[in-house]
């Protein structure tokens, strides 16, 4: 997803303002074997991160003189009882964001200092007490002379470097544990952020043939451009699941995939749909636009696990009944994923409301409305009760057009 540069994203395009966001999660993957022995934190420990980004440069500088950077970064790890296990706040080493030469500012943006050392010192003391008898004050003294750095693979602190003069108060064990812990939190965070996938509002038009590229990632892609490769490589398991959903959606087709390529052309994938009513085989481009628009959503929901799937307007080119059925698919696949849906579909929301009435927990669904204000978009939560009814009205009568049109007819 291309959101532009810093000035494009920041509120009112004011580069003197900061961009902040936060996220929390508990790992869903089961840790076994080596993972349990090497991970510094348990799989049930809640990870919370806070990011504050700023801009280094001035409006008069060329685009090559200015850049965005991570100004502050906060890690908080808590256990099942919400007791703190590890807490660290970092600040960028950039001192002058405007006057210093670009090279110095860039170098400083990759180094961080620790703002809070109490929790980190206590963590290291607990982890090393079996081998060393370190004092908390000695650990804190060493932390004051420790730099935390990023590298090409991570934009957050991922390694620690302690000044050699202060390292005497630091045991080798403590240094290794600190460096490993910072690296593991950076790696864990990167893996979580990499699990976010995005499908745009207009997916690719169905083609008769697909030639997969070698650089395709583990997502169907923003436009659904990789969907044929997933279907072909994971057949027949995935086509069985897709066809099962087609049957639930009352779509009278069965999907299959095969390669018609050779040693010269390489793999050339052909998707086929068999009409279950007439037994006629056609391509996705022959049966209307709806299946081609819905197929990337279905495939992404099936192949992803422990992911956040963002979809804009999944209802496009789908008639109201299919929009409602799509809500059932989202509910079912949300057991292993989290869906973030931007929609204007009343049919989709009504099906979600009905499922809550039938037993789906209301806590599993969060409905939010973005209200434009003079200070930017304000997110307004629209809560649901145990019967699936909204506890407050949508601002500006978002779903009241149907009622208004009926009144006009009367």
The DSSP H or E segment spanning 406 is helix 401-409
> Residue 245 pLDDT > 50, yes or no?
yes
The mean pLDDT value for 167-172 works out to 64
Q: Does domain 197-363 have CATH number 3.40.50.300?
A: yes
- Supply the pTM of this predicted model: 0.84
- CA-wise closest residue to 74 among 52, 42, 104: 52
pLDDT-based confidence at residue 36 (cuts at 50, 70, 90): very low
Instruction: Give the residue-averaged pLDDT of 50-69.
Output: 81
Q: How far apart are CA 77 and CA 87, in angstroms?
A: 6
pLDDT digits (tens, 9 = 90+) for 327-373: 999 999 999 999 999 999 999 999 999 999 999 999 999 999 988 88
Domain locations in the chain as residue ranges:
6-194, 197-363, 366-410
pLDDT at 401 over 60: no
Asked whether residue 173 carries a pLDDT value surpassing 90, the answer given is no
Alpha-helical runs (H) found in 195-234: 227-233
- What is the structure's pLDDT at 374? 83
Nearest alpha carbon to residue 251 among 239, 241, 243: 243
Q: Which of 264 and 201 is assigned the larger pLDDT?
A: 201
Region for residue 11 given its phi and psi (left: phi exceeds 0; alpha: psi -120 to 50; beta: otherwise): beta
What are the residues whose beta carbons fall under 8 Å from the beta carbon of 209, sequence distance 6 or more?
A: 260, 268, 269, 270
Which residue has tokens 């959903």?
245
Number of residues written out for the chain: 410
Average pLDDT over residues 172-177: 84
Token pair in block for residue 345? 């579909």
Kindly provide the b/e burial profile for residues 31-41, where b requires at least 16 CB atoms within 10 angstroms of the residue's own CB: eeeeeeeebbb
pLDDT of residue 33: 42
Q: What stretches of 119-195 adopt beta strand conformation (E)?
A: 146-151, 154-162
State the pLDDT confidence band at 142, using cuts at 50, 70 and 90.
Answer: confident
pLDDT of residue 166: 56
Mean pLDDT, the chain, whole residue set: 86
Task: Tell me what the mean pLDDT of segment 42-60 comes to.
Answer: 87
Write down the pLDDT at residue 290.
84
């Amino acid at each position: 997803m291309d959101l532009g540069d810093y000035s494009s994203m920041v509120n009112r395009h004011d580069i003197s303002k900061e961009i902040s966001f936060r996220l929390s999660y508990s790992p869903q993957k089961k840790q076994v074997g080596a993972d349990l022995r090497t991970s510094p934190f348990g799989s049930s420990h809640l990870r919370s991160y806070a990011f504050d980004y700023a801009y280094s440069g001035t409006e008069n500088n060329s685009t090559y003189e200015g850049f965005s950077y991570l100004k502050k970064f906060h890690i908080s790890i808590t256990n099942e009882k919400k007791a703190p296990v590890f807490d660290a706040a970092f600040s960028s080493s950039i001192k002058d964001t405007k006057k210093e030469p670009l090279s110095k500012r860039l170098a400083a943006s990759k180094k961080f200092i620790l703002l809070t050392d109490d929790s980190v010192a206590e963590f290291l003391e607990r982890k090393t007490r079996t081998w060393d008898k370190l004092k908390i004050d000695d650990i804190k003294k060493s932390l004051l002379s420790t730099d935390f750095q990023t590298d090409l693979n991570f934009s957050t602190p991922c390694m620690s470097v302690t000044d050699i003069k202060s390292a005497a108060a630091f045991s080798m064990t403590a240094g290794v544990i600190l460096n490993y812990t910072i690296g593991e939190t950076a790696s864990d965070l990167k893996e979580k952020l990499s699990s976010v996938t995005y499908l745009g509002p207009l997916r690719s038009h169905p083609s008769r043939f697909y030639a997969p590229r070698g650089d395709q990632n583990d997502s169907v892609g923003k436009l659904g451009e990789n969907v044929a490769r997933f279907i072909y490589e994971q057949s027949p398991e995935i086509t069985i699941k897709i066809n099962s959903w087609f049957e639930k959606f009352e779509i009278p087709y069965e999907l299959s995939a095969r390669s018609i390529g050779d040693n010269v052309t390489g793999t050339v994938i052909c998707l086929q749909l068999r009409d279950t009513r007439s037994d006629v085989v056609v391509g996705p481009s022959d049966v209307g636009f709806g299946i081609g628009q819905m197929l990337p959503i279905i495939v992404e929901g099936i192949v992803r696990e422990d992911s956040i799937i963002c979809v804009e307007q999944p209802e496009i080119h789908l008639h109201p009944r299919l929009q409602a059925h799509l809500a059932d698919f989202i509910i079912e696949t949300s057991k292993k994923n989290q869906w973030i849906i931007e929609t204007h579909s009343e049919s989709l929301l009504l099906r979600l409301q009905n499922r809550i009435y039938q037993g789906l927990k209301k806590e599993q669904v969060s409905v939010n409305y973005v209200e434009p204000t003079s200070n930017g978009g304000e997110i307004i939560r629209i809560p649901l009760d145990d019967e699936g009814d909204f506890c407050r009205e949508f601002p500006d009568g978002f779903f009241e057009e149907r009622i208004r049109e009926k009144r006009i007819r009367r």
